[in-house]
Structure 1
Amino acid sequence: MKLKEKVALVTGAAQGLGKAIALAMAREGADLVVADIQDDLLADTAKEIEALGRRCLPIRCDVSSSEQVARMFAQAGERFGTVHILVNNAARVPASPAEEERRNSHYAYATTPVPRKSLGITSSLSDDDWLKWWDVNVHGTFYCTREALRFMEPQRYGKIINIASIAGISAASTHSPGYSASKAAVVGFTKTVALDVAGADIHVNAIACGVVLTPPFEAYLANATEEQTRALYQLIPLGRLGTPKEYASLAVYLAGDDHYLVGQVISPNGGAVI
């Protein structure tokens, strides 16, 4: 029970990676505040946590709204008194038909011996293609971190885990420059906040995820051709996608007290980025 008597707040916890992290922390003894905008799925997450014998407070929250985030942390404080662990997992990911088409073009180009050329991705993006990533991925991470620190700094204790991506540390997501830029911003934010608050025994680190088998990516694979799927796996030396459970175990470790990590970006990615 590595997280016994701790309170963890996980955003984007209705499904996929966020749900896996919340359940893993509950198994280690933490009480949970889980947040998302998908009410029905969030209620299911809360039931599963409570079935493990832990207390859980599900809250509908759009993290791109600073007002909603402030209200969520106020509710967490009223219910549990404090927050010890924050997992900034909520994110917008590339999943539209146009983004999937660009993804497939990028994967084919990267894995097929064809003449080199410009892929024409960046020059064809609209303002919306660029701007839509920042509200949740960057602003939401900041809003939640700011509110969490208002608990953590006075108590001189806390763990903040930002879910970044290999998109933010490499060209792995060439198909989505705006997404890559937003995740790079999370990496930079992680490092600066880590230095800011380390003196109060608050550890801030990031997980730069590779491809995770979450519902959005399951949907992509369901629509992909065999050739497109082979191109994806060709880019991963381990030859498979990561599972939410594998990433959740790292989040639990970073939320615990048995490490000396501050401002680090750890990237489980099957060798896709080395």
Structure 2
Amino acid sequence: MTHAQSLSGQVAVVTGGGQGLGRAIVQALADAGARLVVCDINPATLEDTRKSLEASGTEVLAVPCDVSDAAAVDAMFEQAGQRFGSVDILVNNAGLVPSSPAEESLRKAHYAYRTTPMPRQSLGVTASLSDADWHKWWGVNVHGVFYCTRAALRFMERQRAGRIVNIASVAGLGAGSMHSPGYSATKAAVISLTQTTAFDVAGANIQVNAIACGGVNTPPMLAYLAGATEEQRASLFQLVPLGRFADADQYARLAVYLAGKDHYFVGQVLSPNGGYVI
């Protein structure tokens, strides 16, 4: 799907690129020859990523940035322009995921409800959701995608070329993450924003697409699996026809493909999910 050096000389901005799936995407883009602008809210992981990339000969600008802050996003893209002169690729990867102890408890209860015979009833998730729990998802997961897309388009529309890849989730395609309605709603919003933006800018040779990830073996997911019982893990994987989750580099290779010029996708939602959603 990808070709060595197929992105040679291209400038790629990756948000949330200091760890997990974001770091895998950053490395895959670097392997394809791109120059990188990497942002993350965690300075320690961002610095580690920068050192790793520079050690392998990749040109990289590392910028600590909270993508929910529009001014910080604009400042980051201004630095990108000053350093590299253009932005050719944007991967909107930064996002909050359900990982708190309370959210993990709801996740386990949800999986049990879907895989274990028990009386049908309301699970009470939506009715008990607080205002704070609802609002916390939107700043990074939706506003951040919009702010970064808007800033990137200032370069891409002027040069009449660009690729934007939004990292969404199967949570935005159905009820698979009903234990976190706020997260699911934001990922559905990312999918809708992908489609409307794609239609808007395709005439300027800018292709916008999304990857609706299924299970990814990132550190938070691996931590959840490590804390689950054997029965809970078996119940979870029973929901996935393929019986396993994907490694981050499998998604990263798809992101590199969509960041290139050898495809005809516009406004599409590609969902590698092992059959979780068909």
Fold equivalence (TM over 0.5):
yes
Partner of 2:192: 188
Deviation at 1:216, TM superposition (A): 1.2
Residue of structure 1 aligned with 2:98, choices 89, 94, 97: 94
Bigger mean CA offset, 213-222 vs 171-180: 213-222
Task: Determine the C-alpha separation between the residues in 2 that align with 1:129 and 1:37.
Answer: 20
Determine if the alignment matches structure 1 residue 250 to structure 2 residue 254: yes
Task: Give the 5 Å matches for 1:148-163.
Answer: 148-163=152-167
Task: Determine the C-alpha separation between the residues in 2 that align with 1:67 and 1:201.
Answer: 27
Task: Give the 5 Å matches for 1:84-233.
Answer: 84-233=88-237
1:233 is matched by which residue type in structure 2? F
User: 1:213 touches 1:243 (CA, 8 Å); kept in 2?
Assistant: yes
Task: Determine the C-alpha separation between the residues in 2 that align with 1:173 and 1:228.
Answer: 16
Deviation at 1:51, TM superposition (A): 2.5
The percent of aligned pairs where both chains have the same amino acid is 65
Deviation at 1:220, TM superposition (A): 1.1
TM-score by length of 2: 0.97
Task: Determine the C-alpha separation between the residues in 2 that align with 1:235 and 1:139.
Answer: 31
Deviation at 1:223, TM superposition (A): 1.5
Deviation at 1:42, TM superposition (A): 0.8
Number of residue equivalences: 274
Deviation at 1:52, TM superposition (A): 2.5
User: 1:168 touches 1:185 (CA, 8 Å); kept in 2?
Assistant: yes
User: 1:23 touches 1:48 (CA, 8 Å); kept in 2?
Assistant: no
1:24 is matched by which residue type in structure 2? A
Moved over 3 A (4+): none
Deviation at 1:176, TM superposition (A): 0.4
The residue matched to 2:118 in structure 1 has which SS? coil
Partner of 1:44: 48
Deviation at 1:117, TM superposition (A): 1.2
Partner of 2:35: 31
The residue matched to 1:10 in structure 2 has which SS? strand
User: 1:27 touches 1:52 (CA, 8 Å); kept in 2?
Assistant: no
Determine if the alignment matches structure 1 residue 77 to structure 2 residue 81: yes
1:84 is matched by which residue type in structure 2? D
TM-score by length of 1: 0.99
The residue matched to 2:158 in structure 1 has which SS? helix
